[in-house]
Amino acid sequence: MKLKPLYIVVISCIQISFAQNYEAKVDSLMQLMTLQEKIGQTTMYSGNWDQTGPFVGSDNGKYIREGNMGAMLNAMSVKGTRDLQKIAVEESRLGIPLLFGYDVIHGHRTIFPINLGLSASWDLKMIEESSRIAAEEASAEGIHWTFAPMIDVSREPRWGRISEGAGEDVYLNNRIAEAYVKGFQGDDLSKHNTILACAKHYVAYGAAQAGRDYHTTNMGEGELRNVYLPPFKAAVNAGVEAFMSAFNELNGVPTSGNKFTLRDILRDEWKFDGFVVSDYTSINEMINHGFAKDSIDAAKIGMNAGVDMDMVGDVYRLHLQQLVEDGKVSETYINDACKRILMAKYKLGLFDDPYRYIDEKREATTKYRPEFLAKAQEIASASSVLLQNKNETLPLSNTTNTIAFIGPLVKDKADILGNWAAKGDRYGKAISIFEGLSAYLKPEQILFAKGCDILTDDESGFEEAIKISKQADAIVLVMGEDHHMSGEAASRTDLKIPGIQPKLIRKIREANLTKKITLVLMNGRPLNLSKEVELVDAILEIWFPGTMGGAATADLLFGKVNPSGKLTVTFPRNVGQVPIYYNMKNTGRPIPEHWPKADYKSNYIDVANTPLFAFGHGLSYTSFKYSELKLSSETLTYSNAIEASIEVSNTGKFDGYEIVQLYIHDKVGSVTRPVKELKGFEKVFLKKGQTKTITFTITVEDLKFYNSEMTYGVETGEFEIAIAPHSDFKFKHAFNLID
Ligand code: GLC
């Protein structure tokens, strides 16, 4: 056994002693606390700096003085949090500081692309940087804790909250979960620019039936363990300090009252020692679920199942004392919950200095720092996906005489921030696409017409739009959804571009049969673009790109930045295909090679089974060539590793990034296995003409899954393997795992 260097041993001892020191302090504090004061720590109410759920009135000052509140959400600013903290520290019996939480999801003031967009960058360093910057800005305004990352795997584009996550793939969600946790929590929670992260929504919320938010989720334990749980385990491994239970019921048991997920898995299997907060009134909502008789019953179920803190539901404060006295809730559970919450406050240094996040000067000088805005612009460009680029329509030339910019989102400065935009400045700071053009075009080169609104059926703007489209040398349409059409409680049954925008696209093509048309899309979910792919030449998916989105988009349109993003969610041909994702099962009658000439196969008769755009799809202004894959061996054992390598060449006219992806297929298992699974990726920069060798190392750890007995392991047999630019390929190589 290799001895660790002495200094590592010493540091580890110091860290252990610190933890024990915290624990000793928390234990001694809890000796002084009454049962009701411990219950007070398990209670969170909302401030009024923002509203993120149904309004529930509460007398915050009174509860804080009584020691009946341990945390607040939607309370921020140095002044606001200082006033509240003073009450807690100076006017309550034990002076226990409050914890301030907020939804800092993709930025606090400087807003980054929505998380589905961030995931399309496949750039873990950028994702970590975005959450690091968010933590800097949020902590400067008194915030200790963010309700992020949202790591719900989802294959449901009807579900508005697909916009908040990292898409359909488990492996990518795992890596991105780790990046967010590291970014928010940094390397030392006692520093005043680090904040607690919170893995949400635990668990399987993204599998809402029919994509209807808050709807039922049902699945076998194998699907739960192989698809929906892994990103949460990855967050635990990354050191996340908090979890948030979800709204949905899972197999008949609401996830905010689910002992199996909250205690058996999270505590007993994963040994998670942070605290669990409910979602907004999700404990009370077990009454609506028909799982709790009343709020007393809901409080009992929530605490016994393992939810440590009641967000805004006001059932713990009101009922837990009586439930303990009646022997229906163990005081041990209350003590455990209170201790976890106090430990988090100690780790943040709030007992050493409750006002450590309160600094006017820092508040005034942190937000929108130039380097934050520059990073936001860089990340917004990297998150965009070039879906189509016929006839090399893009990049545009800034010497073009006139370019017509048409659509309801050309001058938008509000929707561009997307949903969950925290304290982003929706009408002031954000740069619209129209404003971003000024870096490339003179005013006289730009023709503009709004054409129509996002959702109305008023066609009165069509005439002007068509007129300028005919005058211009090139046409750029900027269309999509508004930011209320995705995010929470924003499910759609129809995935088309909303309103009469599609009609305007068609009219503009009819008026300009050969002119090159680019469609820039702002949206929070995969859309049905089956008509648009035939009508326009280029499609650039920019999601909701954030504060610097307009500048970033202009950089892409004019080629200063070469698009590199790749889809992390499948774009279906229409909503009837949903759910459709790249790593489905093969079935006993697989999809035929040449649709529709196939009888008795697992295919539709009206639409091909293939998606419109596959997971991992994304074009570049340059082109990349992949050599044949090379394997170091075609035999893998439990103790060795094999290397898969490939040469990637930039064969085009632009330097650019390529996201090289590793996929495997476990051909035969004790349970059926997906037709392919992402198991690695590397984002590589290649100058034009340059070639690089990319190598992935595969061990049995990469092949494990939960089998029919719910044991996590790997099974011998043949595995297909590929290194590819996206998921739409056929395997040509394989290796064998032998005992
Ligand atoms: C909301 C959301 C959750 C958020 C919480 C606090 O209902 O479901 O994601 O963190 O309430 O705002």
- Ligand 1 in reach of 482 Cβ (< 6 A): no
| Per-residue pLDDT at 108 exceeds 60 | yes
Please report the pLDDT score of residue 1 as a whole number. Answer: 47
Probe target for ligand 1 pocket from 45, 151, 283, 488, with the most ligand atoms within 8 Å of CB: 488
Report residue 310's pLDDT band, with 50, 70 and 90 as the boundaries. very high
Of ligand 1's listed atoms, the one at least distance from the Cα of 150 is 9
**Residues 243 and 266: beta-carbon distance below 8 Å:** yes
- Ligand 1 in reach of 147 Cβ (< 6 A): yes
- Ligand 1 in reach of 213 Cβ (< 6 A): no
Ligand 1 centroid–CA 403 distance in Å is 42
Q: Which residues contact 429 (CB under 8 A, 6 or more apart)?
A: 109, 368, 547
- Ligand 1 in reach of 52 Cβ (< 6 A): yes
Ligand 1 centroid–CA 162 distance in Å is 14
Half-sphere exposure of 79 (CA within 13 A, CB side): 2
Of ligand 1's listed atoms, the one at least distance from the Cα of 148 is 10
Probe target for ligand 1 pocket from 49, 147, 198, 420, with the most ligand atoms within 8 Å of CB: 147
Ligand 1 centroid–CA 365 distance in Å is 29
- Ligand 1 in reach of 144 Cβ (< 6 A): no
- Ligand 1 in reach of 53 Cβ (< 6 A): yes
- Ligand 1 in reach of 103 Cβ (< 6 A): yes
Q: Which residues contact 280 (CB under 8 A, 6 or more apart)?
A: 52, 53, 54, 311, 312
Mean pLDDT score of the chain, rounded to an integer?
A: 96
Report residue 441's pLDDT band, with 50, 70 and 90 as the boundaries. very high
| Per-residue pLDDT at 4 exceeds 60 | no
Determine the Cα–Cα distance for residues 510 and 494; give it in Å rounded to an integer: 25
What pairing do the DSSP bridges indicate for beta strands 717-724 and 656-666? antiparallel
Probe target for ligand 1 pocket from 145, 279, 282, 419, with the most ligand atoms within 8 Å of CB: 279
Q: DSSP 3-state assignment of 685?
A: strand
Q: Which domains does the chain have, with CATH numbers?
A: 380-577 (3.40.50.1700), 624-737 (2.60.40.10)
Ligand 1 centroid–CA 458 distance in Å is 35
What confidence tens digit (pLDDT) does each residue in 159-199 have?
999 999 999 999 999 999 999 999 999 999 999 999 999 99
Ligand 1 centroid–CA 256 distance in Å is 13
DSSP output for 211-230:
G-TT--B---HHHIIIIISH
| Per-residue pLDDT at 230 exceeds 50 | yes
- Ligand 1 in reach of 214 Cβ (< 6 A): no
Of ligand 1's listed atoms, the one at least distance from the Cα of 103 is 10
What pairing do the DSSP bridges indicate for beta strands 385-389 and 538-541? antiparallel
Ligand 1 centroid–CA 621 distance in Å is 39
| Per-residue pLDDT at 696 exceeds 50 | yes
Mean pLDDT over 404-408 rounds to 98
Please report the pLDDT score of residue 58 as a whole number. Answer: 73
Ligand 1 centroid–CA 46 distance in Å is 11
Report the nearest-CA residue for atom 11 of ligand 1.
280
Mean pLDDT over 543-560 rounds to 98
Please report the pLDDT score of residue 457 as a whole number. Answer: 95
Q: What is the pTM of this model?
A: 0.96
Q: Dihedral angle at the C-alpha atoms of 385, 124, 553, 433, nearest 10 degrees?
A: 120
What confidence tens digit (pLDDT) does each residue in 329-354 have?
999 999 999 999 999 999 999 999 99
- Ligand 1 in reach of 669 Cβ (< 6 A): no
Probe target for ligand 1 pocket from 162, 163, 244, 247, with the most ligand atoms within 8 Å of CB: 244
The candidate with the shortest Cα–Cα distance to 705, out of 661, 662, 660, 668, is 668
Probe target for ligand 1 pocket from 44, 50, 52, with the most ligand atoms within 8 Å of CB: 52
Mean pLDDT over 79-87 rounds to 96
Please report the pLDDT score of residue 6 as a whole number. Answer: 62
Report residue 362's pLDDT band, with 50, 70 and 90 as the boundaries. very high
CB atoms closer than 10 angstroms to residue 24: 11
Of ligand 1's listed atoms, the one at least distance from the Cα of 201 is 9
Report the nearest-CA residue for atom 8 of ligand 1.
279
Locus of tokens 């520093």? 191
Of ligand 1's listed atoms, the one at least distance from the Cα of 53 is 7
The candidate with the shortest Cα–Cα distance to 573, out of 595, 553, 589, 593, is 595
Q: Is 297 annotated as catalytic? A: no
Adjacent-strand bridge partners of 80: none
Ligand 1 centroid–CA 311 distance in Å is 9
What confidence tens digit (pLDDT) does each residue in 6-49 have?
655 665 565 555 556 789 999 999 999 999 999 999 999 999 88
Q: Which residue has the higher pLDDT, 56 or 3?
A: 56
- Ligand 1 in reach of 488 Cβ (< 6 A): yes
Mean pLDDT over 464-476 rounds to 98
Report the nearest-CA residue for atom 12 of ligand 1.
52
- The catalytic position among 103, 123, 213, 279 is 279
| Per-residue pLDDT at 3 exceeds 60 | no
Q: Which two tokens stand for residue 435?
A: 């404003």
What confidence tens digit (pLDDT) does each residue in 249-306 have?
999 999 999 999 999 999 999 999 999 999 999 999 999 999 999 999 999 999 999 9
Please report the pLDDT score of residue 48 as a whole number. Answer: 83
What confidence tens digit (pLDDT) does each residue in 376-404 have?
999 999 999 999 999 999 999 999 999 99
Q: DSSP 3-state assignment of 340?
A: helix
Please report the pLDDT score of residue 10 as a whole number. Answer: 60
Report residue 605's pLDDT band, with 50, 70 and 90 as the boundaries. confident
- Ligand 1 in reach of 73 Cβ (< 6 A): yes
Ligand 1 centroid–CA 52 distance in Å is 6
What confidence tens digit (pLDDT) does each residue in 643-677 have?
999 999 999 999 999 999 999 999 999 999 999 99
Percent of the chain with pLDDT over 90: 92
Locus of tokens 């394997």? 631
Determine the Cα–Cα distance for residues 503 and 505; give it in Å rounded to an integer: 5
Ligand 1 centroid–CA 197 distance in Å is 14
**Residues 58 and 30: beta-carbon distance below 8 Å:** no
- Ligand 1 in reach of 152 Cβ (< 6 A): no
| Per-residue pLDDT at 430 exceeds 50 | yes
Ligand 1 centroid–CA 438 distance in Å is 38
CB atoms closer than 10 angstroms to residue 596: 14
